[in-house]
Amino acid sequence: MAHKFNPSDHPHRRYNPLKGDWVLVCPHRAKRPWKGQLEPAIEQTTPRFDINNPLCPTAHRPNGIVNPDYSGTFVFDNDFPALLDDVPVPDKEDNDELFQTSPAEGNCKVMCFHPHSDLTLALMSRVEVRAVIDKWAELQEELGKMYTWVQIFENRGAVMGCSNPHPHCQIWSSSYLPNEAEVKDKKLKEYYLKHDKNMLLDYAERELKKQVIRIGI
Protein backbone atom coordinates (compact mmCIF):
# COMPACT_ATOMS: atom_id res chain seq x y z
CA MET A 1 0.00 0.00 0.00
CA ALA A 2 1.24 3.49 -0.83
CA HIS A 3 2.39 5.45 2.21
CA LYS A 4 0.87 8.78 1.22
CA PHE A 5 -2.07 9.65 -1.00
CA ASN A 6 -1.17 11.49 -4.21
CA PRO A 7 -4.14 12.92 -6.16
CA SER A 8 -2.09 12.70 -9.38
CA ASP A 9 -1.43 8.97 -9.00
CA HIS A 10 -4.10 7.35 -6.87
CA PRO A 11 -7.76 6.65 -7.68
CA HIS A 12 -10.22 8.49 -5.48
CA ARG A 13 -13.68 10.04 -5.39
CA ARG A 14 -14.34 13.75 -5.43
CA TYR A 15 -17.45 15.38 -4.07
CA ASN A 16 -19.40 17.60 -6.44
CA PRO A 17 -21.20 20.17 -4.23
CA LEU A 18 -23.23 21.45 -7.18
CA LYS A 19 -24.97 18.10 -7.55
CA GLY A 20 -24.45 16.47 -4.17
CA ASP A 21 -22.86 13.37 -5.69
CA TRP A 22 -19.41 11.77 -5.96
CA VAL A 23 -17.23 11.39 -9.07
CA LEU A 24 -14.67 8.63 -9.53
CA VAL A 25 -11.23 9.96 -10.56
CA CYS A 26 -8.54 7.57 -11.87
CA PRO A 27 -5.52 9.75 -12.80
CA HIS A 28 -3.11 6.80 -13.06
CA ARG A 29 -5.04 5.53 -16.09
CA ALA A 30 -3.65 8.42 -18.15
CA LYS A 31 -0.21 6.78 -17.97
CA ARG A 32 -1.24 3.60 -19.78
CA PRO A 33 0.05 3.00 -23.34
CA TRP A 34 -2.40 3.86 -26.08
CA LYS A 35 -2.77 1.71 -29.20
CA GLY A 36 -6.32 2.54 -30.04
CA GLN A 37 -7.73 4.30 -33.06
CA LEU A 38 -6.28 7.69 -33.95
CA GLU A 39 -8.39 10.07 -36.00
CA PRO A 40 -6.46 11.94 -38.69
CA ALA A 41 -6.67 15.71 -38.73
CA ILE A 42 -9.17 16.86 -41.33
CA GLU A 43 -8.19 19.98 -43.21
CA GLN A 44 -11.30 21.69 -44.44
CA THR A 45 -11.47 24.99 -46.24
CA THR A 46 -14.68 26.92 -45.79
CA PRO A 47 -15.61 29.58 -48.33
CA ARG A 48 -16.22 33.04 -46.92
CA PHE A 49 -19.57 33.23 -48.69
CA ASP A 50 -21.74 30.52 -50.19
CA ILE A 51 -25.18 31.41 -51.53
CA ASN A 52 -26.26 27.83 -50.83
CA ASN A 53 -25.39 28.15 -47.15
CA PRO A 54 -28.67 29.04 -45.40
CA LEU A 55 -26.84 31.06 -42.72
CA CYS A 56 -25.06 33.40 -45.10
CA PRO A 57 -26.34 36.93 -45.78
CA THR A 58 -28.95 37.11 -48.59
CA ALA A 59 -29.17 33.29 -48.76
CA HIS A 60 -32.46 31.40 -48.89
CA ARG A 61 -33.29 29.29 -45.84
CA PRO A 62 -35.21 25.96 -46.20
CA ASN A 63 -38.52 27.65 -45.31
CA GLY A 64 -38.13 30.12 -48.19
CA ILE A 65 -37.18 33.14 -46.08
CA VAL A 66 -34.29 35.20 -47.44
CA ASN A 67 -31.71 36.37 -44.92
CA PRO A 68 -30.99 40.10 -44.75
CA ASP A 69 -27.61 41.35 -45.92
CA TYR A 70 -26.41 41.54 -42.32
CA SER A 71 -22.97 42.88 -41.39
CA GLY A 72 -22.80 41.98 -37.68
CA THR A 73 -24.85 39.58 -35.59
CA PHE A 74 -28.09 38.13 -36.94
CA VAL A 75 -30.78 36.41 -34.83
CA PHE A 76 -33.79 34.49 -36.11
CA ASP A 77 -36.23 31.83 -34.93
CA ASN A 78 -34.94 28.33 -35.65
CA ASP A 79 -36.62 26.91 -38.74
CA PHE A 80 -36.59 23.44 -37.13
CA PRO A 81 -37.07 24.17 -33.40
CA ALA A 82 -36.93 21.51 -30.71
CA LEU A 83 -39.36 23.50 -28.56
CA LEU A 84 -42.59 25.25 -29.55
CA ASP A 85 -44.40 28.12 -27.86
CA ASP A 86 -47.92 26.71 -28.08
CA VAL A 87 -48.38 22.96 -27.62
CA PRO A 88 -51.27 20.93 -26.16
CA VAL A 89 -51.01 19.81 -22.55
CA PRO A 90 -50.27 16.05 -22.36
CA ASP A 91 -53.07 13.81 -21.15
CA LYS A 92 -52.70 12.39 -17.66
CA GLU A 93 -52.02 8.65 -17.60
CA ASP A 94 -54.62 7.92 -14.93
CA ASN A 95 -52.27 9.41 -12.34
CA ASP A 96 -49.85 6.53 -12.92
CA GLU A 97 -46.55 7.49 -11.27
CA LEU A 98 -44.59 5.31 -13.70
CA PHE A 99 -45.94 7.04 -16.82
CA GLN A 100 -45.82 10.75 -16.13
CA THR A 101 -45.70 13.55 -18.70
CA SER A 102 -45.62 17.32 -18.34
CA PRO A 103 -45.81 20.29 -20.73
CA ALA A 104 -42.62 21.46 -22.49
CA GLU A 105 -43.01 24.81 -24.17
CA GLY A 106 -40.34 27.18 -25.36
CA ASN A 107 -38.58 28.99 -28.13
CA CYS A 108 -35.45 28.19 -30.15
CA LYS A 109 -33.39 30.84 -31.88
CA VAL A 110 -30.25 30.83 -34.02
CA MET A 111 -27.69 33.60 -33.75
CA CYS A 112 -25.04 34.17 -36.41
CA PHE A 113 -21.89 35.78 -35.01
CA HIS A 114 -20.55 37.19 -38.28
CA PRO A 115 -21.47 37.31 -41.98
CA HIS A 116 -18.31 35.40 -42.99
CA SER A 117 -18.49 31.60 -42.88
CA ASP A 118 -14.73 31.08 -42.62
CA LEU A 119 -14.46 32.72 -39.18
CA THR A 120 -14.89 31.52 -35.61
CA LEU A 121 -15.07 33.52 -32.38
CA ALA A 122 -11.34 32.93 -31.89
CA LEU A 123 -10.58 34.57 -35.23
CA MET A 124 -12.88 37.56 -34.84
CA SER A 125 -11.73 40.99 -33.65
CA ARG A 126 -12.32 42.11 -30.06
CA VAL A 127 -14.95 44.57 -31.23
CA GLU A 128 -16.79 41.82 -33.10
CA VAL A 129 -16.60 39.42 -30.14
CA ARG A 130 -17.88 42.15 -27.81
CA ALA A 131 -20.86 42.63 -30.12
CA VAL A 132 -21.65 38.92 -29.84
CA ILE A 133 -21.42 38.99 -26.04
CA ASP A 134 -23.60 42.11 -25.85
CA LYS A 135 -26.24 40.40 -27.98
CA TRP A 136 -26.09 37.32 -25.74
CA ALA A 137 -26.71 39.51 -22.69
CA GLU A 138 -29.57 41.30 -24.42
CA LEU A 139 -31.27 38.03 -25.41
CA GLN A 140 -30.69 36.50 -21.97
CA GLU A 141 -32.44 39.43 -20.33
CA GLU A 142 -35.25 39.63 -22.89
CA LEU A 143 -36.06 35.91 -22.97
CA GLY A 144 -35.48 35.48 -19.24
CA LYS A 145 -38.55 37.63 -18.59
CA MET A 146 -40.73 35.16 -20.51
CA TYR A 147 -39.19 31.76 -19.80
CA THR A 148 -37.93 29.81 -16.79
CA TRP A 149 -34.65 28.83 -18.44
CA VAL A 150 -32.53 30.34 -21.21
CA GLN A 151 -29.54 28.40 -22.51
CA ILE A 152 -27.03 29.78 -25.03
CA PHE A 153 -24.70 27.18 -26.50
CA GLU A 154 -22.58 26.45 -29.55
CA ASN A 155 -21.97 23.07 -31.20
CA ARG A 156 -18.60 22.87 -32.91
CA GLY A 157 -17.72 20.26 -35.51
CA ALA A 158 -19.60 17.44 -37.22
CA VAL A 159 -18.93 15.04 -34.32
CA MET A 160 -20.88 17.36 -32.02
CA GLY A 161 -23.78 17.52 -34.43
CA CYS A 162 -22.96 20.88 -36.00
CA SER A 163 -24.50 20.83 -39.47
CA ASN A 164 -23.13 24.16 -40.68
CA PRO A 165 -19.61 25.65 -40.49
CA HIS A 166 -20.93 29.22 -40.34
CA PRO A 167 -20.13 30.87 -36.95
CA HIS A 168 -23.36 30.62 -34.99
CA CYS A 169 -24.97 29.40 -31.76
CA GLN A 170 -28.30 28.16 -30.46
CA ILE A 171 -30.50 29.92 -27.91
CA TRP A 172 -33.06 27.66 -26.30
CA SER A 173 -35.66 29.06 -23.91
CA SER A 174 -37.93 26.69 -21.99
CA SER A 175 -40.87 26.77 -19.61
CA TYR A 176 -39.04 24.46 -17.20
CA LEU A 177 -35.62 23.94 -15.65
CA PRO A 178 -33.56 21.14 -17.28
CA ASN A 179 -32.58 18.30 -14.93
CA GLU A 180 -28.96 19.42 -14.42
CA ALA A 181 -29.92 23.03 -13.82
CA GLU A 182 -32.70 22.04 -11.41
CA VAL A 183 -30.36 19.97 -9.24
CA LYS A 184 -27.66 22.65 -9.20
CA ASP A 185 -30.19 25.39 -8.46
CA LYS A 186 -31.41 23.39 -5.46
CA LYS A 187 -27.86 22.84 -4.14
CA LEU A 188 -26.90 26.50 -4.60
CA LYS A 189 -29.98 27.63 -2.68
CA GLU A 190 -29.32 25.14 0.13
CA TYR A 191 -25.73 26.36 0.48
CA TYR A 192 -26.78 30.01 0.49
CA LEU A 193 -29.45 29.44 3.15
CA LYS A 194 -26.92 27.60 5.31
CA HIS A 195 -23.89 29.89 4.90
CA ASP A 196 -25.36 33.16 3.55
CA LYS A 197 -22.74 32.98 0.81
CA ASN A 198 -22.50 32.05 -2.85
CA MET A 199 -21.15 28.49 -3.20
CA LEU A 200 -19.29 29.12 -6.46
CA LEU A 201 -17.50 32.18 -5.11
CA ASP A 202 -16.54 30.29 -1.95
CA TYR A 203 -15.31 27.35 -4.01
CA ALA A 204 -13.13 29.52 -6.26
CA GLU A 205 -11.67 31.40 -3.28
CA ARG A 206 -10.76 28.22 -1.40
CA GLU A 207 -9.33 26.57 -4.50
CA LEU A 208 -6.99 29.51 -5.05
CA LYS A 209 -5.89 29.46 -1.42
CA LYS A 210 -5.22 25.73 -1.49
CA GLN A 211 -3.27 26.01 -4.77
CA VAL A 212 -4.79 22.69 -5.76
CA ILE A 213 -3.96 21.00 -9.06
CA ARG A 214 -7.63 20.78 -9.97
CA ILE A 215 -7.79 24.38 -11.22
CA GLY A 216 -8.20 24.51 -15.00
CA ILE A 217 -8.52 27.39 -17.40
The pLDDT of residue 162: 67
The pLDDT of residue 41: 75
* pTM to 2 decimal places: 0.82
The pLDDT of residue 35: 81
d(CA 10, CA 29): 9
The pLDDT of residue 193: 98
Which of 114, 116, 166, 168 is flagged as catalytic? 168
The pLDDT of residue 97: 82
All residues at 6 or more sequence positions from 46 whose CB lies less than 8 Å from its CB, including other chains: 117, 118, 165
- pLDDT tens-place string over residues 156-170: 776 666 678 899 999
Nearest alpha-carbon partner for 157 in 37, 46, 36, 38 = 46
The amino acid at 194: K
End-to-end CA distance of the chain: 34
The pLDDT of residue 77: 97
The pLDDT of residue 34: 82
Nearest alpha-carbon partner for 25 in 39, 47, 7 = 7
Whether 3 is catalytic is no
**Paired residues of 173 in beta bridges:** 107, 150
Q: Could you say which residues of the chain have pLDDT below 50?
A: none
